[in-house]
Structure 1
Amino acid sequence: MTAKILVVDDILPNVRLLEARLTAEYFDVTTAMNGAEALAVCAQDDCDLILLDVMMPGMDGFEVCRRLKKNPATTHLPIVMVTALDQPSDRVKGLEAGADDFLTKPIDEIALIARVRSLTRLKVVLDDLRNRASTAVALGMPDPFTAALAEDGLGGRILLVDDRPASAAQLAFMLRDKYIVEIEPNPNDVAAKVASGAYDLLIVSLGLQGFDALRLCGQLRSQERTRQLPILCLAEMEDRTRVLRALDLGVNDFLMRPVDGNELIARVRSNLRRKRYADKLRDNVQASLELAVVDPLTGLNNRRYFEMHLSILVKQAVDCDRPLSMMILDIDHFKGINDTYGHATGDQILKGFAKRVRKVIRIPDVICRIGGEEFVVVMPDTNMEVAARIAERVRAEIEQERFVVPHSGAAVGITVSIGLAERGDDDLPDGLFSRADRALYRSKSNGRNRVSADAA
């Protein structure tokens, strides 16, 4: 997918120069001559990254940036400020306004393309999360977008990888008031430490002695547990080529030495805001997935999960020629419980029933609530003889002790009818379920509170 870049500058030759450079790298380029035009383009969701001039009449780049970052619809857009200003205080002002980076005029073409590619890659990931989260919101999940705007990027744990004690101590001192900083001088220990620790950001010196810092960054990006961890590199002025390579490897940001404390804090805040924004979207998506496949009352998987998962388990059993059994459980006379004690008590009994069944079955067994008072347990690598013993333990566990309902103090005795079936020659999920269901019907017809098996 070709990224669409919005170039904003009030001087036409500057616009044309950037347009030509980006078009030569196969980016689609849209242009705006002032801040108002830029806001209008962004409101139409018509760009993936903004190259924003700072010094413009009317509304300067700082104000444009602030407005975009305060809007939930545009806060995710990467913004690179393009300016003749080259003082750390100017960069800090831009970063505090929400900019992702600065490019100083005259623009280094290689640095421009490397930064644009790096930020547009991050934008692709963020867009996917936003789309998934939007779907989740449409299904009734809380809106994560507005909440993310309140994130200030402060607090959290930072791992600083620097083998020069004086440098590491100075950097930790700069961050001490706003972050918890741990110093790791040995780069060989970093991967394991980061994988096991709850760090929010990694700061890596590219000047490690006797160790390739870029290799470390590449390793962290290749591992699932550390792929999303923001990495900020510290580099000397002569490390320009390695900085560009770091961006290609997926490093999020960089800072040149000598380090300005205010700029360091501003870049850390910017990266943490972006990380936490993405984390909120991921949490929202994960919650929506759980909502789709988890029964909210009992915490068990629901019928949708069962139907999706059963075919996988049956296929695995067929491919490996292994046994597979299923039990369907139905709480006896549950309607009478609801009618006598009320639905709140019925809900508490369903929760307690699920907990007891979980206690009896084995870890590999899959238990789902498939509707009302009906549950199903799929037992991989289990033949009928073993399944019958497990089913009888479940039946006895339910019958032997009354369910004490919290708050009401009611003690309700229940029983359960169970139907069993083992995978047979049909090897189809529907066939297995139908035979277990027939066995359940026999249990209920023969007086309930019993286990019946249907042979393949």
Structure 2
Amino acid sequence: MSARVLIVDDIITNVKLLEAKLSAEYFGVVTALNGLEALAICERGEADIVLLDVMMPGMNGFEVCRRLKSEATTAHIPVVMVTALDQPSDRLQGLDAGADDFLTKPLDDTALFARVRSLVRLKSMTDELRNRALASRRLGIADPLAAAALETGLNGRILLVEDRPSVTERLQSALSAFHSVEVEPDPHQALVRAVEGEFDSVLVSLDLKGHDGLRLCSQLRSLERTRNISVLMMGETEDRARILRGLEIGAHDFLIRPIDRNELLARVRTQVRRKRFTEKLRDSVQSSMEMAVMDQLTGLHNRRFMDSRMAVMFDESALRARSLAMLVLDVDHFKVVNDSWGHDAGDEVLREFADRVRACTRGIDLVARMGGEEVVVVLPDTTLDAAYAVAERIRERVEMEPFAIHNNSNAIPVTVSIGVASRRAGDVSSAEMMKRADDAVYRAKASGRNRVIVANAA
């Protein structure tokens, strides 16, 4: 997988060496000799991953990483700290700054390339979500990236898959201070629990008795219900080849035994934060999609969706010679409600009206707010007589009980006039059917309201 790798190091020979290695693996390479230059490149969106040296004059790598991870526009960019520092405290400082990994010089090329490819793959999974989430700003949704960047990575739900009691006790004790931890020694049951639960992260021992831990990692990454859970491997130093293979099949991170408590907490927190970051983007995209097709007041589909969907339903009905009917509903004297009780009361009436209409229709029916107090219901595989029966059921349900307003402090009677029409053999579009239903509802209004009128027969 090709990607743009930003190399940040104040020593030009180090930059050139890494640039040559990565270029030979077909990565695009961007370089920076100091932290400020690196920040500017990332803010312009010119890097997919950052290989960041720690010891630099002016602004060290820890500070650069901290700034990248604190900004909404750059928090999603993976950062790998590359340095000669090899003490656990140094690695922990990098992870606390938000780094996704910490590689020690001299670099193992195989490990470097595997880590870069793994992190780039994870980033590519969120890029499309980011783009769509940013587009949601035009719909008035609060900045999704800013909200996602505030995620702390604490109070996660963790599933620990380990069959050695002494190891389990030590890891659970460390994690429980900041997360909710569940333990499952059996890998088969672990997969079931992961599917059924709402876990943020799964820690998998590669040394499970009688079972290949990588198999579980692969299953977690392939199943739809667990695909978005972060997966951390735990292995021995001699498991290096298997760990690299785990990164290739989609595991997110790894820990080498003996596991340092602080590194465990830092890596788990990073993975929980990343998982929730992606979830917030996904929720933002879902919200923007709903806003594009839903009426925000009533929760019904909006006019835009109705027009496109109704055309499809009409064409399918004509192609298969199946019946199709339509109801146009207009709340009676709605202006009086607004004038007498206020627009807040009018909104309450419309929401309750929408609920009552929904209760009388099927899942396959299209129910949409056309505008104001008008609602359209399109009924596939429904004859004119059956549509009339549905309309009467809606009319009765609206009339039978007063509508609560002003937070249930008052209640007012509401009625509805309904026009009914069906597709005719000579219709060339749904507009003709809607015109007949519209005419019928006007006749219902003129005839005294609170009634159902069927469009004139052809």
Fold shared by both chains (TM-score > 0.5): yes
Mapped to 2, the partners of 1:211 and 1:408 lie a distance apart of 60
Aligned to 2:48: 48
Distance 1:315 1:159 in 2: 50
Distance of aligned partners of 1:236 and 1:407 in 2 relative to their CA distance in 1, 3 Å threshold: closer
1:318–1:427: 8 Å Cα contact kept in structure 2?
A: no
Cα gap change, 1:97 to 1:407, in 2 (>3 Å)? closer
* Corresponding position of 2:434: 433
Q: Which runs of 5+ in 1 are unaligned?
A: none
Q: Give the CA deviation at 1:322.
A: 4.0
- Residues 227-281 of structure 1: CA deviation (Å, up to 9, x unaligned): 1111111112122222122112211111111111110001011111212222222
Q: Is the 8 A contact 1:314 1:427 kept in 2?
A: no
State the 1:347 CA deviation: 1.8
Inter-partner Cα distance in structure 2 for 1:392 and 1:58: 77
Q: What is the TM-score of this pair, normalised by structure 2?
A: 0.93
Match of 1:156 in 2: 156
1:448 counterpart SS class: coil
- Could you say which residue in structure 2 is the equivalent of 1:72? 72
Shift of residue 444 of structure 1?
A: 3.0
Counterparts of 1:141-180 in structure 2, within 5 Å, are: 141-180=141-180
Task: Report the CA distance between 1:72 and its aligned residue.
Answer: 2.2
Letter in 1 for 2:228: Q
- Which segment is superposed worse, 250-259 or 354-363? 354-363
The residue that corresponds to 1:241 in the other structure is 241
Match of 2:208 in 1: 208
- What is the correspondence of 1:391-406 to structure 2 with a 5 Å cutoff? 391-406=391-406
**2:224 & 2:370 partners in 1: Cα distance?**
33
Does residue 386 in structure 1 map to residue 422 in structure 2?
no
Residues 331, 414 of structure 1: 8 Å contact kept: yes
**Offset, 1:317:** 4.4
Shift of 1:319: 6.0
1:371 counterpart letter in structure 2 = G
Tell me the residue number matched to 1:34: 34
Structure 1 pair 404/94, CA: closer, same or farther in 2 (3 Å)?
closer
Going from structure 1 to structure 2, the CA distance change for 1:345 and 1:384 (only over 3 Å counts) comes to: same
Residues 341-360 of structure 1 mapped to structure 2, 5 A cutoff: 341-360=341-360
Amino acid paired to 2:245: R
Q: 1:379 to 1:195 in 2, by over 3 A?
A: farther
Distance in 1, matches of 2:165 and 2:262, equals 21
Secondary structure in structure 1 of the residue aligned to 2:46? coil
What residue in structure 1 maps to residue 12 of structure 2?
12
Pairing 1:52-451 to 2, within 5 Å after superposition: 52-317=52-317, 322-407=322-407, 409-425=409-425, 426=427, 428-451=429-452
- Matched pairs, number: 456
Closer, same or farther in 2 for the Cα pair 1:117/1:322, shift >3 Å? Answer: farther
Task: Between 338-347 and 194-203, report the one with greater CA deviation.
Answer: 338-347
Over 3 Å counting, the alpha-carbon distance change for 1:155 and 1:323 in structure 2 is same
Secondary structure of the equivalent of 2:336?
helix
Q: What SS does the corresponding residue of 1:137 show, helix, strand or coil?
A: helix
* Bigger mean CA deviation after superposition, 14-23 or 283-292: 283-292
> What one-letter code is carried by the residue in structure 2 that aligns with 1:176?
S
Secondary structure at the aligned position of 1:224 is classed as coil
Q: CA RMSD in A?
A: 2.2
What is the deviation of 1:394? 0.8
Distance 1:317 1:208 in 2: 58
Q: In the aligned structure 2, how far is the partner of 1:191 from the partner of 1:315?
A: 45
Distance 1:359 1:435 in 2: 25
Residue type matched to 1:327 in 2? L
Cα-to-partner distance string for 1:92-132 (whole Å, 9 max, x where unaligned): 11000110001221211121111111111222222222222
Structure 1 residue 145 displacement after superposition: 2.7
CA deviation map 1:119-177 (0-9, x unaligned): 11222222222222222123321123333343221112100112222222221122121
Aligned-partner SS, 1:225 = coil
Shift of 1:312: 4.0
Q: How far 1:80 sits from its partner (Å)?
A: 0.5
